[in-house]
A and B are shown apart, each in its own frame.
Chain A
Amino acid sequence: MNNDLINYTLHLADNSLILGQRNSEWCGHGPVLEQDIAITNISLDLIGQARNFYQYAALLRKDGSTEDSLAYLRTEREYKNCLLTEQPNGDWAQTILRQFFFSSYQYLLYQQLQTGEDKQLAAIAEKSLKEATYHLRWSSEWVIRLGDGTEESHDRMLKAADELWRYTGEMFIAADYEKKTGIDIAALKEPWQKRVKEIFNEATLPYPEKIFMQEGGKQGKHTEHLGYILSQLQYMQRAYPGCEW
């Protein structure tokens, strides 16, 4: 059971860290200054959440791990983030849609988690929910703005949906370590779909058709992209073990 809790906490941490790392790639490259600041602020929130989860996981492991060793010294196969979070930024449409799909999920998940059995996870969720709500609102507005914008922005949203939809199914399939958390992750699927339908409708985007869904991220089987993310994220600790600022 404790192992499950550790793995579950790492899964939550990895989701936030990897999406935060991805968003941070926009730093200095945003389409306009205000949105550059917005996406990097979201990145900061996510990395902050990841720190809380890693600190808790380190405490549970009782093996001398720290938040830093968990982030910097685990390999691809040990990372348990959902495949969606590691997908490339692509253009602004793809980044926005990835954030919207994930924030809609995280918003529902944290609502459940904050009343869950584990007090520390509940506290982290309660704290992070305020930020997730902000991210959800911001990304929903952007999906509508782009989908119902120009022909060009509409097309790019369609392409982004094509690219990302296959990675959304996995979020609602419980990994072994998720089964004893008291949260029915499959039950979040319906409210998630309802929100996506509403926002897509508003954005004049067709709701994506049923297709084959990729999975494996929660079990450490990732797309080719995660290795590149980790090689950048972990470079300093790999090249100069134990280095500190």
Chain B
Amino acid sequence: MTNSAIDKKTLYAYLDEIKDPEVPVLSIIDLGIVRDIVMHDDEIEVIITPTYTGCPAMDMIAMNIRMMLATLGFKKQKVTTILSPAWTTDWMSEEGKRKLKEYGIAPPNPKQHVCNEKLFADAEAVQCPHCDSYHTHRISEFGSTACKALYQCDDCKEPFDYFKCH
């Protein structure tokens, strides 16, 4: 049985309440993880795409989606993962980028920096989320989670995470 009283737009609003467990200010809608919602005759299907292949948050996100759908009265629900087209930080909403910055994580630049193999490339000009200075430098290409790199601000001296382009 499906809960036909709920339309897709409302469903998206509900899914917007599910947060990324590792970056709790971002919802799965902000991140662009939810690719589609399909209503079948007796089943509802939510199609998601992982951010990073090894992201341990994905299993938890899929479970939270199923629990949300069950709470809304959908008895038969399915969460399908698709890999192609591959997720990119370009799918992150503007609202998501604003929330990230407020949280103290520099949002991804629009440029697809990671996708080239050029060595010793100049680090991207990343804005410090604390004092807005562009006078920053990269400490490490890898950070506390798969999606982040580590930077430091040369003006306010604060180290900060940068949600790296992907």
A133 close to chain B: CB less than 8 A: yes
- Choose one: B53, B82, B83; the contact of A131 (CB below 8 Å): B53
Nearest CB on A from B57, distance (A) = 11
Size category of the A interface is 20 to 34
Please name all residues of chain B whose beta carbon is closer than 8 Å to the beta carbon of A122 when the two chains form the complex: 84
Contact at A48–B53, with CB atoms within 8 Å? yes
Question: Which residue, of B87, B115, B119, B146, has the highest number of chain A Cβ atoms within 10 A?
Answer: B119
Contact at B119–A48, with CB atoms within 8 Å? no
B55 close to chain A: CB less than 8 A: yes
Closest to A144 in B: B119
B interface size (C-beta, 8 A): 28
A45 close to chain B: CB less than 8 A: yes
Nearest CB on A from B154, distance (A) = 17
Stretch at the interface among B8-16, B21-29, B135-143: B135-143
Closest to A120 in B: B83
List A residues 98-149 near B (Cβ within 8 Å): 107, 119-120, 122-124, 126-131, 133-134, 136-138, 140-141, 144
Given known contacts A38-B140, A124-B83, A133 and B115 CB-to-CB distance under 8 angstroms? yes
Closest to A38 in B: B142
- Binary interface profile of B, 85-125, with partner A (CB < 8 Å = 1, else 0)? 11100000000000000000000000000111111100000
A71 close to chain B: CB less than 8 A: no
Please name all residues of chain B whose beta carbon is closer than 8 Å to the beta carbon of A47 when the two chains form the complex: 54
**Distance, CA A190 to CA B42, complexed state (A):** 54
Contact at A126–B117, with CB atoms within 8 Å? no
Contact at A133–B116, with CB atoms within 8 Å? yes
Contact at A34–B119, with CB atoms within 8 Å? no
Given known contacts A124-B83, A134-B114, A141 and B120 CB-to-CB distance under 8 angstroms? yes
- Choose one: B56, B86, B144; the contact of A130 (CB below 8 Å): B86
Contact at B53–A38, with CB atoms within 8 Å? no
Contact at B53–A126, with CB atoms within 8 Å? no
Contact at B150–A34, with CB atoms within 8 Å? yes
- Choose one: A52, A123, A136; the contact of B117 (CB below 8 Å): A136
Please name all residues of chain B whose beta carbon is closer than 8 Å to the beta carbon of A123 when the two chains form the complex: 82-84, 86
Nearest CB on A from B116, distance (A) = 7
- Choose one: B82, B85, B143; the contact of A37 (CB below 8 Å): B143
Contact at B117–A127, with CB atoms within 8 Å? no
Closest to A199 in B: B119
Closest to A35 in B: B140
- Choose one: B83, B84, B117, B150; the contact of A133 (CB below 8 Å): B117
Please name all residues of chain B whose beta carbon is closer than 8 Å to the beta carbon of A129 when the two chains form the complex: 86
Nearest CB on B from A231, distance (A) = 23
List B residues 52-93 near A (Cβ within 8 Å): 52-56, 82-87
Nearest CB on A from B132, distance (A) = 25
Contact at B53–A127, with CB atoms within 8 Å? yes
**Distance, CA A48 to CA B83, complexed state (A):** 12
5 contacts between A and B (CB under 8 A): A37-B150, A107-B117, A127-B84, A127-B87, A130-B115
Q: Please list the residues of chain A having a beta carbon within 8 angstroms of any beta carbon in chain B.
A: 34-35, 37-38, 41-42, 44-49, 51-52, 107, 119-120, 122-124, 126-131, 133-134, 136-138, 140-141, 144
Q: Please list the residues of chain B having a beta carbon within 8 angstroms of any beta carbon in chain A.
A: 50, 52-56, 82-87, 114-120, 139-144, 146, 150, 166
6 smallest beta-carbon distances between A and B, as pairs: A48-B54, A48-B53, A123-B84, A34-B140, A44-B54, A123-B83
Given contacts A38-B140, A140-B117, 9 further A-B contacts (CB under 8 A): A34-B139, A41-B142, A45-B52, A126-B86, A127-B50, A127-B83, A127-B86, A133-B116, A137-B119
